[in-house]
């Protein structure tokens, strides 16, 4: 991928564009933020690796890793989206990320709003990083150590000779030896190990094991001298991925870790301005009413963005474009309903007293004011008494009931709770997929040694048919390529003839030196003897990976399981919210399957294309709840009540049972039988604290309470409603 297209154009304003580096390794994910400045990559912010297990964990862990890195990014600096991914070599094939792993990256980008701009292989990035640090091409064995496997990459003068993956055993020395023996054709291996993993500080034991290993005991491995062992820290591994990504974008040769010290350089300097009285809401030398009229909410001014960053391209000012589309918040005050009541009362009484405008009663204005004040007080008291509402949620300690029963799913009948029959619909789908796995079979292949012998005869002439066996030292057998006739001879002057022979088996051990003596068939050396005047040659052997029966079985099982998961997901998306898919009822049938190789074929990988038919039962949640409620009704102890929303079920198949029968495991939280009506009456008009004390003494299994009052009145006004219909009491299991 051409990374250069993601750099700012030369005629753009001088900016620093930030990029993500996201390293994904088996079990661990790590992130960092970097930029390109002149001829170097600068790592500005980074975080520690975060563990992950399942695909769901990977998204959450990646989000945590990104969040840990971006938390120190200045507020005015846009969060980057363009991302360079660092992946292990086993994720890559033919220069591209494998389809299964590419799907993971696509999901991460979609969920976390990332824009992928390319990827780098971690081992190759480390090699490039070491070269930039040391100034010369790397010759080393780079070892990625993980929980279940080890990845080996051999570099010679900067060139990658090959990469292999080995399953972990109890001895890391044996694992690495096994991996290095696969690099046939490598004469002297680099005498340097560089190790890394997804964590930091957990490689010392492995390092010590390699240092203590006696490599001379492994005759098939050739080192010029005792290898030295180095460990790459996680921060340097992140720098390596950043450098590799930057090198693809620009002529970048080195990387630096500027860290959090750059945060202040990235932040804008704000001038110190003394706050004015107006900034606190005061009005100076102006009439308040005039001020309000002159500054309506619709004409508020939005401050211009600070553009004190000369090195950051100013963001397009779209504030004015969108502000008219965003509704203005309506400012409200508590007790507006009281204000409305009082306002209406004042208006009515104001209009009433206007009728007496022409009368000259000296004390009428005072009396009218007292009447209005009295009515306002009466109205306020009435509002305080009749208008407030509240919801009181009482939490009690439940009693857990665990039971199970057998139920039958019937696709043609109706739900019958008493008979434990649940109506079900059969949903079907066809899922296709492919998967590639490494082969584990081993086969020895090679060529047979060939040569020529001279057969000597003391006696009458003799003919030997093609295929006659001759044996050399260590019982090494050869056969005549064609029939020959040996002339007669005597002990002093034996008859002789030359014959071409081939080794019985492949291997270099049949390359015998000249002058070797051979016995012919079952004849004694006195009757017949063969010798080679020239050395035999051409014999060789090597081990290769081949497809085994276990490889096919495991690949088919793994792919079938993956397709089952996809089928469950697809079927679940088809059903409505009030339905549930019974995973245990899923039945698979093979539609078609095709392997790209046969058993015994020489191949390092095996690919399977598989199509399966999947079908499963779908039932209504309410039907399962009805049957469960009916079953638990007699098992609920006195003093407790069973609620539908407190039931959880798990459904499994009944092994060897009748078709359509399943075991339903039920967990129910039983709540104490509490008289809600009596509690409601007892706490009407009480203060929340007093109500809480009453319930703690009179409600069985009481653990806590929540009050939701509307409106929330201050001090001694904040009682619970005094009107029965305005107070709702709910019972719930403790949180």
Residue 605 has pLDDT above 90, yes or no: yes
Q: Is 595 helix (H, G, I), strand (E, B) or coil?
A: strand
Residue 186 has pLDDT above 70, yes or no: no
Distance separating alpha carbons of residues 73 and 18, to the nearest angstrom = 11
Distance separating alpha carbons of residues 68 and 53, to the nearest angstrom = 19
Distance separating alpha carbons of residues 28 and 11, to the nearest angstrom = 40
More confident residue, 661 or 565: 565
DSSP of 444-476: EEEEEEEEEEEEEESBS-EEE-TT-EEE-GGG-
DSSP of 376-442: HHHHHHHHHHHS-EEEEEEEE--EEEEEEEEEEEESSS--BGGGTEEE-EEEEEEEEEEEEEE--EE
| Helix residue spans in 202-287 (DSSP H) | 204-212, 234-249, 263-266
Determine contact, residues 102/87, Cβ cutoff 8 Å. Answer: no
Distance separating alpha carbons of residues 344 and 153, to the nearest angstrom = 85
- Which residue ranges make up each domain of the chain? 16-121+251-255, 134-231, 426-438+544-618, 443-540
Distance separating alpha carbons of residues 645 and 637, to the nearest angstrom = 18
Residue 476 has pLDDT above 90, yes or no: yes
Distance separating alpha carbons of residues 5 and 27, to the nearest angstrom = 32
CB atoms within 10 A of CB 522: 9
End-to-end Cα distance, the chain: 52
Helix orientation angle between 234-249 and 122-134, rounded to the nearest 10 degrees = 90
Residue 328 has pLDDT above 70, yes or no: no
Phi-psi region of 287 (alpha: psi -120 to 50; beta: other; left: phi over 0): beta
Residue 308 has pLDDT above 60, yes or no: no
Q: Is 134-231 the same fold as 16-121+251-255? A: yes
- Of the candidates 388, 501, 390, 288, the residue with the CA atom closest to the CA atom of residue 727: 390
CB atoms within 10 A of CB 451: 22
User: Chain centroid to CA 535: how far?
Assistant: 61
Residues whose CB falls within 8 Å of the CB of residue 731, separated by 6 or more in sequence, listed in order: 394, 396, 671, 674, 676
pLDDT digits (tens, 9 = 90+) for 207-227: 888 888 888 888 788 888 889
**pLDDT band, residue 71 (cuts 50/70/90):** confident
With tokens 């005047």, the residue in question is 533
Q: Is 324 helix (H, G, I), strand (E, B) or coil?
A: coil
Q: Determine the topology of domain 134-231 in CATH.
A: Nucleotidyltransferase; domain 5 (3.30.420)
Residue 618 has pLDDT above 50, yes or no: yes
Determine contact, residues 47/30, Cβ cutoff 8 Å. Answer: yes
Structure tokens at 693: 């004390």
Distance separating alpha carbons of residues 328 and 558, to the nearest angstrom = 56
Torsions phi, psi of 267, nearest 5? -80, 145
Res 470: pLDDT = 94
pTM of the entire structure? 0.39
Res 735: pLDDT = 64
Residue 48 has pLDDT above 90, yes or no: no
199-203, 236-240, 283-287, 411-415: least confidently modelled range: 283-287
- Sign of torsion over alpha carbons 201, 206, 209, 213: negative
Q: How many CA atoms lie within 13 A of 265 on its CB side?
A: 8
75-79, 505-509, 702-706: least confidently modelled range: 75-79
In this structure, which CATH number among 3.10.310.10, 3.50.50.60, 3.60.9.10, 3.30.420.40 belongs to the domain 16-121+251-255?
Answer: 3.30.420.40
Distance separating alpha carbons of residues 128 and 37, to the nearest angstrom = 19
Q: Determine the topology of domain 443-540 in CATH.
A: Elongation Factor Tu (Ef-tu); domain 3 (2.40.30)
Alpha carbon distances (Å) from 700 to 80, 671, 680: 55, 9, 15
Distance separating alpha carbons of residues 262 and 313, to the nearest angstrom = 18
Structure tokens at 457: 């005869």
The residue-averaged pLDDT of 574-583 equals 88
Strand partners, 668: 401, 647
Distance separating alpha carbons of residues 417 and 625, to the nearest angstrom = 9
Phi-psi region of 484 (alpha: psi -120 to 50; beta: other; left: phi over 0): beta
User: Chain centroid to CA 78: how far?
Assistant: 25
């Amino acid at each position: 991928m051409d990374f250069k297209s993601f750099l700012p154009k030369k005629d753009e304003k001088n900016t620093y564009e930030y990029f993500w580096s996201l390293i994904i390794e088996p079990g661990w994910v790590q992130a960092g933020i970097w930029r390109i400045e002149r001829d170097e990559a600068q790592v500005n912010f980074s975080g520690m690796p975060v563990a992950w297990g399942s695909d769901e964990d990977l998204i959450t862990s990646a989000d945590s890793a990104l969040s840990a890195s971006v938390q120190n990014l200045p507020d005015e600096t846009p969060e980057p989206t363009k991302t360079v991914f660092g992946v292990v070599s086993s994720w890559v094939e033919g220069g591209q990320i494998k389809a299964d792993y590419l799907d993971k990256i696509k999901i991460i980008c979609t969920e976390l709003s990332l824009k992928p701009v390319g990827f780098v292989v971690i081992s190759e990035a480390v090699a490039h990083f070491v070269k930039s640090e040391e100034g010369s091409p790397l010759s080393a064995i780079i070892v990625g150590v993980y929980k279940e496997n080890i990845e080996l990459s051999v570099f010679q003068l900067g060139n990658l000779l090959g990469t292999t993956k080995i399953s972990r055993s109890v001895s890391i020395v044996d694992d690495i030896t096994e991996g290095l023996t696969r690099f046939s054709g490598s004469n002297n291996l680099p005498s340097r190990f560089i190790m890394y993993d997804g964590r930091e500080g957990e490689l010392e034991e492995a390092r010590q094991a390699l240092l203590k290993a006696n490599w001379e005991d492994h005759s098939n491995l050739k080192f010029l001298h005792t290898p030295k062992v180095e460990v790459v820290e996680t921060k340097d591994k992140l720098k390596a991925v950043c450098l590799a990504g930057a090198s693809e974008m620009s002529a970048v040769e080195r990387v630096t870790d500027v860290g959090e010290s750059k945060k202040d350089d990235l932040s804008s300097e704000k001038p110190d301005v003394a706050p004015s009285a107006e900034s606190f809401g005061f009005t100076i030398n102006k009439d308040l009413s005039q001020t309000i009229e002159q500054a309506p909410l619709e004409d508020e001014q939005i401050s211009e963005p600070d553009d004190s960053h000369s090195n950051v391209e100013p963001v397009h000012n779209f504030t004015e474009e969108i502000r008219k589309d965003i509704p203005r918040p309506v400012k409200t005050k508590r007790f507006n309903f009281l204000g409305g009541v009082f306002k209406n009362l004042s208006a009515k009484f104001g209009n009433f007293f206007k009728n007496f405008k022409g009368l000259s009663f000296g004390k009428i204005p005072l009396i009218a004011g007292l009447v209005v004040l009295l009515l306002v007080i009466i109205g306020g008291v009435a509002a305080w008494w009749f208008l407030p509402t509240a919801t009181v949620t009482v939490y009690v300690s439940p009693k857990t009931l665990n039971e199970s029963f057998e139920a039958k799913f019937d696709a043609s009948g109706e739900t019958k709770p008493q008979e434990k029959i649940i109506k079900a619909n059969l949903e079907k789908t066809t899922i296709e997929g492919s998967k590639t796995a490494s082969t584990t079979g081993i086969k020895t292949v090679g060529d047979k040694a060939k040569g020529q012998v001279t057969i000597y005869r003391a006696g009458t002439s003799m003919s030997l048919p093609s295929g006659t066996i001759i044996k050399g030292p260590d019982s090494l057998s050869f056969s005549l390529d064609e029939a020959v006739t040996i002339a007669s001879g005597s002990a002093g002057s034996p008859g002789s003839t030359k014959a071409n022979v081939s080794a019985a088996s492949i291997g270099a051990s049949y390359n015998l030196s000249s002058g070797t003596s051979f016995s012919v068939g079952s004849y004694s050396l006195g009757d017949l003897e063969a010798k080679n005047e020239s050395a035999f040659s051409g014999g060789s052997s090597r081990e290769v990976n081949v497809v085994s029966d276990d490889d096919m079985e495991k690949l088919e099982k793994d792919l079938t399981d993956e397709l089952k998961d996809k089928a469950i997901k697809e079927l679940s998306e088809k059903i409505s919210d009030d339905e549930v898919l019974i995973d245990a009822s899923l039945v698979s049938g093979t539609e078609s399957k095709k392997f790209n190789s046969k058993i015994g074929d020489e191949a390092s990988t095996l690919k399977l294309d598989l199509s399966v038919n999947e079908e499963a039962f779908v039932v209504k949640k309410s039907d399962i709840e009805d049957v469960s409620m009916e079953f638990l009704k007699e098992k609920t102890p006195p003093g407790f009540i069973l609620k539908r929303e407190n039931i959880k079920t798990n459904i499994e198949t009944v092994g060897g049972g009748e078709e359509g029968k399943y075991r339903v495991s039920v967990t129910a939280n039983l709540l104490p039988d509490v008289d809600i009506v009596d509690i409601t009456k007892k706490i009407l008009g009480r203060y929340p604290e007093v109500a809480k004390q009453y319930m703690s003494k009179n409600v069985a299994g009481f653990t806590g309470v929540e009050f939701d009052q509307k409106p929330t009145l201050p001090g001694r006004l904040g009682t619970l409603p005094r009107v029965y219909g305005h107070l709702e009491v709910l019972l719930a299991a403790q949180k």
